Amino acid sequence: MSDTAPNQPPADPTTHPPPEIGHVRWFNPAKRTALIERADGSTIFVPSFGLADPQADLLAGQPVTFSARENARGLYASAVRPTGDAPHAGVDTEPVVAQIAAALAETTAFAIAQIRRIVATLGPDGAQAVVAEAQRIEAAGGMLIPDGSRRRTLGGVFFALVRAQLTPAQRLVVFPLRPQWQKAKPQRPRSDTPAPVLPSPAPPITWADRLPLLAALQSTSGKATSVKVTLIGRPDQVDTQPQFTLLTMTHSGPLPSLPKGIPIPATFPPTTYAVYIGKKQWAAVAAALANPEDVLIVEGAQLYDAEAQLVTVFATKTTTKLLQQGNRQPKPPEA
C-alpha cells in the first residue's frame, strides 16, 4: 500500500464505527502516518489525522485499537490508540514468523497474522519453544479436539498451547474474534399451537453402571478380526535374547480427551505391558534410544497373559520420535 491516503477527515464526523484491534506494521514519524495489520491479516493505512494523540509515536508490533472509516479517497484508520507496549521493538520478527508458519504448514493470511501476534506477545524464543512442544506432542500421538472426534493439526496443537498460556487480556489481542456474517433468517408464521414438550434428557451413565451393561452383552459377544495398540514411552530395562528383545512399560494415565458422554473411572489404575520386539526391529531403534530425549513408539497386536497377569504386545512396527522426525525431513537434492 502506498503512502498516499485520505488527507481530510470524512465529511460526516457523527458516524462511529465499532473499534477494532490490530498491530502496527510500520510508523513514519516524519509524516505521522502508519500501517496497521487488522485481525484478519489485511492492512489499513493511518493518515496523520488518524492518530488519537497527534504527538504520540507508534512502534512496530505495538497493539492498537482503531476505527475503520471511509471517505472519497478510500478506507483509512481513525482514532488510533496504543493499548500496550511494543514487545521486541527494533527486532525484525518476520523471519521467525515465516519459519514458524512453514513448520506448521500454515499458509492462510489469517493464520499467519495470528502467528505474527503470537511472536509479538511471547517473543521469538517463546513462540519457537511452543512450536517445539507442539511437534513433541504430535510425535507422541497428537492432541484431540475437545469432543474427541479427531486429532488436531500440528498448527491446531500450536494455537491450543499458546491459548492456554496467555492471560485473558492477551487472548483478546492474539485471538480476536472473526466477524461472523449471517443471512437474515426468514420469519416463520406464528402459530397458536403450543410447542411440544420435549422429554428430559437421560442421566449420564457412570463408570459403576457399566457392569450390568457388560453382563447383558457377554452372552452374545461379537468377533474382532484384528487388534492394534500403540505404546509410546521409554523402558527402564530390556532383556535382549538371541531372536527378540523383551521389555515392560507401565501406563498410569491420564486418559486422552474422550467423546462426551463416555463413562470413565474416577482414578486410572496402572496397566503394565510386556512388549516382545523382533531382533531386526530392536536393532533399528536401540542406538536412537541411547539419547535420553528420545522415546520409543511401538505398534502391535495385544493379548492378556493370564499367567503373567500382564497385557502382552507383539510388536509389528517399532520406531522412535527422533527417527520419525528424521524421516519427515526433505532429502537434499542430488548433485
pLDDT digits 0-9 by tens, 275-288: 999 999 999 999 88
Identify whether residues 121 and 35 lie together within a single domain.
no
Q: What is the DSSP string of 89-104?
A: TT---HHHHHHHHHHH
Establish if 8 belongs to a structural domain: no
Residue 317 scores a pLDDT above 60: yes
Identify whether residues 137 and 73 lie together within a single domain.
no
Identify whether residues 23 and 77 lie together within a single domain.
yes
> Higher confidence at residue 291 or residue 204?
291
Q: How confident is the model at residue 299 (pLDDT cuts 50, 70, 90)?
A: very high
Q: How many CB atoms lie within 10 A of CB 96?
A: 20
Q: What is the DSSP string of 56-88?
A: ----TT-EEEEEEEEETTEEEEEEEEE-S--TT
Place of cell 485499537: 65
> Can you say whether the dihedral through the CA atoms of 212, 216, 221, 222 is positive or negative?
negative
CATH number at residue 241: 2.40.50.140
* pLDDT tens digits for range 66-79: 999 988 888 999 99
Identify whether residues 252 and 302 lie together within a single domain.
yes
pTM for the full predicted model:
0.41
Helix ranges (H only) for 93-193 are 94-104, 109-139, 154-165, 168-174
Counting every residue, how long is the chain? Answer: 335
Least confident of 191-195, 210-214, 239-243: 191-195
**pLDDT of the residue at 166:** 81
Domain boundary among 28, 58, 82: 82
Establish if 222 belongs to a structural domain: no
Identify whether residues 110 and 56 lie together within a single domain.
no
Domain boundary among 147, 174, 201: 174
Domain interval for residue 158: 94-174
Establish if 30 belongs to a structural domain: yes
Identify whether residues 132 and 76 lie together within a single domain.
no
Identify whether residues 237 and 313 lie together within a single domain.
yes
Identify whether residues 283 and 232 lie together within a single domain.
yes
**pLDDT of the residue at 86:** 60
Establish if 149 belongs to a structural domain: yes
Identify whether residues 309 and 235 lie together within a single domain.
yes
Q: Grid coordinates standing for 131?
A: 512450536
Establish if 137 belongs to a structural domain: yes
**pLDDT of the residue at 67:** 92
**pLDDT of the residue at 85:** 65
Q: How many CB atoms lie within 10 A of CB 135?
A: 18
Establish if 76 belongs to a structural domain: yes
Residue 182 scores a pLDDT above 60: no
**pLDDT of the residue at 87:** 59
Q: How far is CA 31 from CA 27, 28, 55, 73, 253, in A?
A: 9, 6, 12, 18, 60
CATH number at residue 117: 1.10.10.1440
State the Cα–Cα distance between residues 168 and 301, nearest whole angstrom. 45
Establish if 41 belongs to a structural domain: yes
Q: Cα–chain-centroid distance for residue 240? A: 40
| Overall number of domains in the chain | 3
Establish if 216 belongs to a structural domain: no
